[in-house]
């Protein structure tokens, strides 16, 4: 029977306490860059899913954020009830197209209320520190809502102790060098995914690809994952064009 506003206050307070304890006890601080790129009102935050860190660290940074999360989380004692009361968007990954329709409808409702929607296009945390291929559901939300998309990338959060099963999978892997201490969260410039390109309707897959490439361009090479070659090809093409113009 808790009001949504109070539930969000509890979640934000809990997140701030965890971040404080990580800094004081573990020595894992964090820095946020690109705050000037975050508008007011309703928009989408498309975030790289590096570890468990960003699942709570993003909460205090927005006035009224809701997360697209897997439905199993609502069954966690106490915490699950707070995700329900806070208006989080729970998704049954096994529901297929029915789940996509539900996500899109809920996203439109929450955006109309001026809320910020955090989505992790990869669907799950990385098992090798690099970007994984994005799922089409994220692109569908962006296309159907027409809301601005804010790309958000996290580097260094793999340093957080724990991280559950995915943390165990990456425990023995060589970590990429993020080039900084602690955790760095960066927000890129907002963009809107068009409904049409060259007279053709933009598919959810194309929209997701645009989002993932925006994330990949912001990341150091060791974190780009399956998009690394395409970002490198883009850089090479830009260099060749610059050379041709200079001749």
Cβ neighbours of residue 200 under 8 Å, at least 6 residues apart?
A: none
Band of residue 182 on the pLDDT scale cut at 50, 70, 90: very high
pLDDT in tens, 103-162: 889 999 999 999 999 999 998 888 788 999 999 889 999 998 999 999 999 999 988 887
Contact between 120 and 143 (Cβ < 8 Å): no
Cα 59 → chain centroid: 12
For the residues 72-95, what does the mean pLDDT come to? 77
Distance CA 130, CA 220 (A): 10
CB 39 within 8 A of CB 190: yes
Does the pTM surpass 0.85? The reply is yes
First to last CA, the chain: 70
């Amino acid at each position: 029977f808790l009001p949504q506003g109070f539930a969000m206050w509890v979640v934000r307070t809990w997140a701030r306490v965890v971040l404080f304890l990580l800094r004081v006890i573990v020595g894992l601080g964090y820095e946020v860059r690109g705050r000037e790129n975050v508008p007011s009102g309703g928009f989408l935050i498309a975030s790289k899913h590096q570890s468990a860190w960003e699942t709570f660290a993003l909460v205090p940074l927005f006035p009224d954020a809701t997360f697209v999360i897997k439905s199993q989380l609502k069954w966690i004692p106490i915490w699950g009830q707070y995700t329900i009361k806070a208006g989080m968007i729970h998704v049954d990954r096994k529901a297929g197209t029915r789940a996509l329709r539900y996500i899109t409808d809920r996203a439109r409702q929450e955006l109309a209320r001026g809320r910020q929607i955090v989505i992790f296009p990869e669907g799950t945390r990385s098992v090798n520190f690099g970007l994984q291929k994005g799922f089409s559901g994220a692109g569908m939300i962006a296309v159907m809502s027409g809301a601005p998309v804010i790309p958000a990338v996290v580097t260094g959060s793999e340093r957080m102790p724990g991280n559950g099963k995915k943390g165990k999978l990456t425990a023995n892997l060589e970590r990429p060098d993020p080039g900084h201490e602690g955790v760095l969260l960066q927000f890129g410039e907002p963009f809107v995914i068009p409904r049409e390109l060259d007279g053709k309707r933009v598919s959810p897959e194309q929209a997701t690809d645009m989002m993932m490439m925006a994330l990949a361009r912001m990341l150091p090479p060791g974190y780009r994952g399956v998009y690394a070659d395409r970002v490198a090809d883009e850089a090479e093409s830009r260099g060749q064009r610059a050379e041709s113009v200079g001749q």
